[in-house]
């Protein structure tokens, strides 16, 4: 697949990451097919994209006249066959291996053989995902950062099978999105979450053991280490269920108990305290 041949992009999953990915592709002039299983998810995604564009207008990043053009490039659908005309596809469903495999296999059957298929996984083996498709050489990991329209990093993960052509095409595609791609090889958690999640986990242990409150743990990391967000504030932003999923991937992948999810994290997930998206995590949220 030649980079200039990519004009229509399918984004599989319209949640937090999916709607952000759709936003940045549409902003850069690509036609987007945003697919999810329920119309309500797609309505919410369009509302979120519209609000995020409004923020960009207020900050002077784009002109007001661009809003309708960007939204006009995004087609939403619950129908799988719609993605068949895509020139590139990226999966952005929750961080569960079974779900990702199901979505990727369905997409693989519909996409043209030359089309590159990517996963926005933040921890799962890209090599395993690639092997589940008929196009392992044209499969790659693209780990966008949240919030996607704001964060410039894309962690580009090569599966063992990823061809050089696919890799170079995706690195160039990231640049066209005005993002900064950083290449890594396939390993549990890659670099970002292999470093980040143990810090979040240890912060949760500090709270569970009564060393400090969540507020004080975060204050120490922000004021003493110059982090823009404390680790527990960031955990709430990511989603505590996602944090536990990633820690499980790290523990299983490395076979090392140092990645064992803090019992407090598991208890909070069991209670439905998932962070910002549920209204309560280490902090309470309204609106």
Residues with a catalytic annotation lie at 122, 143, 155, 193
Residue 75: how many other CB atoms lie within 10 Å? 16
Q: Which two tokens stand for residue 182?
A: 């950083």
**For the chain, what is the largest distance between any 2 Cα atoms, rounded to a whole number of angstroms?**
56
Q: Order of strands, edge to edge, in the sheet holding 180-185? A: 74-77, 31-35, 8-12, 88-91, 116-119, 139-144, 153-158, 180-185
Q: In the chain, which ranges are E strands?
A: 8-12, 31-35, 74-77, 88-91, 116-119, 139-144, 153-158, 180-185
Rounded to whole angstroms, the Cα distance separating 22 from 75 reads: 10
Rounded to whole angstroms, the Cα distance separating 143 from 260 reads: 23
Rounded to whole angstroms, the Cα distance separating 277 from 285 reads: 9
List CB contacts of 161: < 8 A, sequence separation 6 or more: 127, 130, 131, 136, 137, 139
Q: Which residue has the tokens 């309505």?
A: 43
HSE-up (13 A, CA, CB side) for residue 88? 26
Q: Which two tokens stand for residue 146?
A: 């949240």
Q: Residues 11, 35: contact at Cβ < 8 Å?
A: yes
List CB contacts of 259: < 8 A, sequence separation 6 or more: 197, 198, 201, 247, 250, 251
């Amino acid at each position: 697949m030649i980079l200039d041949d990519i004009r229509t992009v399918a984004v599989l999953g319209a949640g937090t990451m999916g709607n952000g990915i759709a936003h940045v592709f549409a902003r850069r002039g690509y036609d987007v097919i945003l697919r999810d299983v329920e119309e309500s998810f797609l309505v919410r995604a369009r509302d979120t994209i519209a609000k995020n564009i409004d923020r960009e207008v207020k900050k002077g990043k784009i002109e007001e006249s661009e809003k309708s053009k960007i939204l006009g490039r995004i087609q939403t659908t619950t129908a799988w066959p719609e993605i068949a005309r895509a020139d590139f596809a990226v999966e952005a469903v929750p961080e569960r291996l079974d779900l990702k495999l199901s979505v990727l296999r369905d997409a693989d059957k519909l996409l043209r053989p030359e089309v590159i298929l990517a996963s926005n996984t933040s921890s799962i083996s890209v090599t395993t995902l690639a092997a589940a498709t008929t196009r392992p050489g044209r499969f790659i990991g693209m780990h966008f950062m949240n919030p996607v329209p704001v964060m410039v990093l894309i962690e580009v993960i090569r599966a063992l099978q990823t061809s050089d052509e696919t890799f170079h095409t995706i690195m160039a595609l990231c640049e066209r999105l005005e993002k900064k791609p950083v290449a890594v090889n396939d390993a549990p958690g890659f670099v970002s979450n292999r470093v980040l999640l143990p810090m979040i986990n240890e912060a949760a242990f500090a709270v569970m053991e009564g060393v400090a409150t969540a507020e004080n743990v975060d204050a120490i990391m922000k004021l003493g280490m110059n982090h823009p967000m404390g680790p527990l504030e960031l955990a709430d932003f990511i989603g505590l269920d996602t944090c536990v999923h990633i820690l499980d991937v790290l523990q299983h992948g490395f076979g090392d108990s140092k990645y064992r999810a803090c019992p407090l994290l598991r208890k909070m997930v069991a209670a439905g305290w998932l962070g910002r998206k549920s209204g309560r995590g280490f902090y309470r949220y309204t609106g």
